[in-house]
Amino acid sequence: MIKKRPPGLIAIVIYKGFVALLLTATSIILLLALKKHDTLVAFSESYILEGKREVIEWLLEKIINIKPQTLKFSGIATAIYAVVTAIETIGLWYEKTWAKILVIGLVGISIPPEIYELIRGVTILKFLVFMANIAVLWYLIRHFYKH
């Protein structure tokens, strides 16, 4: 018999799964950028991009101005966070208490930096992530103490 999960928990699992996939993609991109750093620098200086595709030029400029050590650290740290988020997601799906505690802790410690970022400048993405994390924290705390 398939266990019926609460809709709120399903929404959190979908959200956390999406975050894990996004973090994984980000990690791969950062580490590939590290591996191909010299090629990206040469490509950014080529005439192919001159006056075209402003977004690509902007992104390349941001990446090539990051020190290789920073790219490596960021790629590895993002990969570790992606793995932790995937573990959280699986644990939540199986309604494990340790997963709820882990998510409450990690989301809880992320709230103050998110508030700081919102004070520095509000964007739609920052606001949506903040609200999603508040909702996750509220739901899990409420759900955790019910059981």
Residue 35 pLDDT grade (very low, low, confident, very high; cuts 50, 70, 90): confident
User: What is the chain's mean pLDDT, rounded?
Assistant: 84
Tens digits of residue pLDDT in 132-142: 999 999 998 88
Q: What is the pTM of this model?
A: 0.76
pLDDT computed for residue 147 by the predictor: 60
What mean pLDDT do residues 86-102 have? 93
Query: Residues, the chain, total?
Result: 147
Residue 13, both tokens: 């699992």
Residue 47 phi/psi, 5-degree rounding, is -80, -10
Give the residue among 93, 88, 89, 98 at the shortest CA–CA distance from 144: 98
Q: Which residues contact 84 (CB under 8 A, 6 or more apart)?
A: 102, 106
Measured CA to CA, the distance from residue 15 to residue 23 in angstroms comes to 12
